[in-house]
Amino acid sequence: MSIEISTELGMPKVEPTLEDKISNITHSKRTIQVEPAGFLTGIENGHKRLKLDIPTTSNKVDSYSSDSDTDAEAPDEKPFSSLSPDSLFDEPLELPRSSLGPDQDLQPPKPCKPALRTAPPIPGLFFDPSVRLSDALADEVAKFCMEQYFVEDRSGKRINQAMLFERAKGASGSSEERHGAATGSSVPANAASEPIFPTSATSLPPPLLSLLDSLSHILKPTLPDETHKLLFPSSHPLHARQAILNLYAPGEGISPHVDLLRRFGDGIIGVSFYGGCVMQFERVQGENDDAQPEASDAPTEEIYSVYLPQNSIIVLTGDARYRWTHGIALRDGDWVLSDGEGKGRDDDAVCGTEVSPRAGWIPRSTRLSITFRWLLPGADIVGGG
Ligand SMILES: O=C(O)CCC(=O)C(=O)O
Ligand SMILES: [Fe+2]
């Protein structure tokens, strides 16, 4: 079953519940699938899945051909083809806009500042382009996700987002149960006002659990101990994880956002599959200043762009998670500093009509991302009214 949902992209000040999102959205674009793993009561079947078919603007030409460029009510609709409804801004933000037009697909946006290939100096952001999943593991995980979640629905629409949940260990019910296949019937039409998660299935599917296991090993030597512990606690974790899977066609992206403050905790892991893209980080002005108690040394720039190659891993904690937005511009490709360049030096980038000879245009291909986040207490109580 499909449910039409829509969202105002002018973001609400009060964080919406899933029910709010289902009932209030008006401009959204993603066809999403929710794979519940059960921490709400009320639904018997552990394999229900919810598809939310959202009016799409995934066609990049459409997104630029509209004459509503100055439409103040939907300022963020055009530059991005996708918006995770689970990752809304806490405040509206002015979005960067690509200068690409429908006939300029392979033209770089100008003025242009090529993206870095290494981590920018944002506290709490960990990224090392040489630390990657093996091709074999990446292929296995991506293949599983594609076959399991990114199928066409009955109307032929491509699903491009799936959310998977686990249950916190120690919560009532068996924490050891596993569920893999996302098969079964859809939720009832009034799902938005009912608990949508079953009680039986309680964990992420095995390929994602082994991905987490590998990530723990791969990241161990590169992360500070406390960051590694935050992401991969050795004893039972306090919180349940959510995995959000996003599939991007070339030209698609995600609006700059801070992952919901009251729904997700600190410590976010993002993995890129199939293709790379540039992720842009922009310091949040003012609004989230009290989200985290400790202040940090201010980086010199307000905006950084970083190229995330295939099979790479990025970790956001602290400031990077709470005080900086992340987003992916709607573009067919990205200007990226050449290999060996971009060690975080400001003078590597050239702006204006010239682009640094040390930068190259990397066309986008299909990209799958898997993002792991901790669900905060109460974040599982969605849609129950
Ligand atoms: O695709 C990505 O890497 C980012 C996804 C994201 O930020 C989100 O779903 O909140
Ligand atoms: Fe996000």
Other CB atoms within a 10 A radius of the CB of residue 191 amount to: 21
Give nearest CA residue, ligand 1 atom 10: 87
Residue 371 beta carbon below 6 angstroms from any ligand 1 atom: yes
Which of 261, 328, 367, 375 to mutate for ligand 1's pocket (most ligand atoms within 8 Å of CB)? 328
* Domain residue spans of the chain: 2-375
CA 335 – CA 177 distance, rounded (Å) = 45
357 Cα–ligand 1 center, Å: 30
Predicted interface score ipTM higher than 0.90: yes
84 Cα–ligand 1 center, Å: 7
Q: What is the DSSP string of 244-313?
A: EEEEE-TT--EEEE---TTTB-S-EEEEEESS-EEEEEEE--STTTTTSSS--PPPS-SEEEEEE-TTEE
Strand ranges inside 90-239, DSSP E:
125-132, 161-165
Residue 132 pairs in a beta bridge with 312
353 Cα–ligand 2 center, Å: 31
Nearest C-alpha neighbor of 360 from the set 323, 326, 335: 335
Residue 254 beta carbon below 6 angstroms from any ligand 1 atom: yes
The segments of the chain whose pLDDT lies below 70 read 1-112, 168-202, 287-298, 340-357, 379-385
Q: Are 117 and 305 in contact (CB under 8 A)?
A: no
Confidence at residue 154, expressed as pLDDT on a 0 to 100 scale: 81
CA 247 – CA 158 distance, rounded (Å) = 10
Nearest C-alpha neighbor of 138 from the set 204, 214, 203, 206: 214
CA 370 – CA 114 distance, rounded (Å) = 25
| Amino acid residing at 176 | E
278 Cα–ligand 1 center, Å: 12
Confidence at residue 38, expressed as pLDDT on a 0 to 100 scale: 32
DSSP single-letter state for residue 362: E
Which of 21, 32, 87 to mutate for ligand 1's pocket (most ligand atoms within 8 Å of CB)? 87
CA 302 – CA 310 distance, rounded (Å) = 26
CA 51 – CA 153 distance, rounded (Å) = 8
DSSP single-letter state for residue 136: H
CA angle 27, 30, 36 (to 5 degrees): 125
Confidence at residue 247, expressed as pLDDT on a 0 to 100 scale: 97
Q: Does pTM top 0.95 for this prediction?
A: no
**Tell me: the pLDDT tens digits for 10-29?**
222 333 333 333 322 222 34
**Tell me: the pLDDT tens digits for 323-379?**
999 999 999 999 999 876 544 443 334 343 445 668 999 999 999 999 999 999 876
Residue 326 beta carbon below 6 angstroms from any ligand 1 atom: yes
Q: Which ligand is nearest to the CA of 320?
A: 2
Residue 244 beta carbon below 6 angstroms from any ligand 1 atom: yes
* Max CA pair span of the chain: 60
Considering the four listed CATH numbers 2.60.120.1520, 3.30.420.40, 1.10.3720.10, 2.60.120.10, the one that applies to the domain covering 2-375 is: 2.60.120.1520
Q: Which ligand is nearest to the CA of 314?
A: 1
Using DSSP's 3-state secondary structure scheme, residue 219 falls into helix
